């Protein structure tokens, strides 16, 4: 269980942010392939990712939400204020250190503790979540740029399998990643990422409804919103 704090207010929020960053940075040094960054996502990126939790089709109608790659709760903090009674959130995080930390935040964090009864942390790979439940909104923080094209295609197919018709998938990618790797990466790594980006772009072209640029993040990012077609479409 993570350390808890009794302090409240702006200082408590800053303290939580610093603790998030320390843990995230430590884990990123060990498992950068799975984290994809060295600092947590910014509040601006979290708000952009939670667009379809806020803009629910029917006001106050409960949503089934899945966040994948929940990390230290940076995106979860964007989801939480938009949740209403009846919403549920499955927070999927394969890194056991992050998963345990997130469990603690659901008890201690002033933004996340109000949704604790509605949220469940799953310390597993998203592919192990099964297909016995469906979701209205999926938010993915997985670093697709670090994966193979086949792995990304498999993950996206899984998302659309458990996403209900008309539901939304939101995920982000960092700006200029491919351009930077073209300069500094080994050829095989650059080609792997290029193939991955083609898969991602294929899904954006087929199902994308909007992409938002978020400059207030390290590094700057694009948030892509995709919609699964209705059954009647």
| Mean per-residue pLDDT of the chain | 84
Note the pTM of the prediction, 2 decimals: 0.81
- Contact assessment for residue 1 and residue 104, using Cβ atoms and an 8 Å cutoff: yes
**What's residue 192's pLDDT?**
82
**What's residue 24's pLDDT?**
46
Half-sphere exposure of 103 (CA within 13 A, CB side): 12
At 85, list the tokens. 């009674």
At 204, list the tokens. 């954006």
| 71 backbone φψ class: left, alpha, beta (φ>0; ψ -120 to 50) | left
**What's residue 37's pLDDT?**
52
Name the residue with tokens 């884990």: 27
Give per-residue pLDDT as tens, 141-176: 999 988 999 999 999 999 999 999 999 999 999 885
In three-state secondary structure terms, 8 is coil
CA–CA separation, 66 and 88 (whole Å): 8
Sort 9 into a burial class: Cβ within 10 Å, 0-12 / 13-18 / 19+: exposed
Q: So what's the architecture of 10-227 in CATH? A: 3-Layer(aba) Sandwich (3.40)
CA–CA separation, 211 and 16 (whole Å): 29
Q: Choose among 61, 58, 71: nearest CA to 25.
A: 71
Query: 229: which DSSP letter?
Result: P
Give per-residue pLDDT as tens, 67-109: 999 999 999 999 999 999 999 999 999 999 999 999 999 999 9
């Amino acid at each position: 269980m993570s350390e808890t704090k009794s302090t409240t207010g702006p200082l408590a929020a800053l303290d939580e942010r610093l603790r998030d960053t320390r843990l995230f940075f430590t884990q990123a040094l060990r498992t950068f392939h799975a984290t994809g960054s060295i600092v947590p996502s910014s509040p601006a990126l979290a708000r952009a990712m939670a667009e379809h939790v806020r803009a629910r089709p029917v006001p106050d109608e409960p949503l089934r939400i899945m966040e994948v790659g929940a990390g230290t709760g940076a995106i979860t903090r964007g989801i939480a204020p938009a949740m209403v009674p009846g919403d549920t959130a499955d927070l999927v995080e394969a890194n056991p250190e992050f998963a345990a930390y997130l469990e603690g935040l659901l008890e201690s964090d002033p933004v996340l503790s109000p949704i604790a009864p509605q949220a469940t942390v799953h310390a597993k790979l998203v592919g192990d979540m099964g297909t016995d439940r469906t979701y209205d909104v999926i938010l993915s923080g997985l670093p697709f740029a670090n994966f193979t094209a086949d792995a990304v295609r498999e993950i996206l197919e899984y998302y659309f399998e458990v996403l209900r018709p008309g539901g939304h998938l939101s995920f982000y990618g960092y700006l200029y990643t491919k351009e930077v790797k073209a300069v500094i990466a080994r050829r095989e790594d650059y080609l792997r990422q290029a193939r991955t980006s083609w898969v991602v772009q294929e899904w954006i072209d087929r199902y994308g409804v909007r992409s938002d640029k978020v400059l207030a993040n390290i590094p700057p990012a694009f948030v892509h919103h995709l919609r699964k077609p209705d059954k009647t479409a």
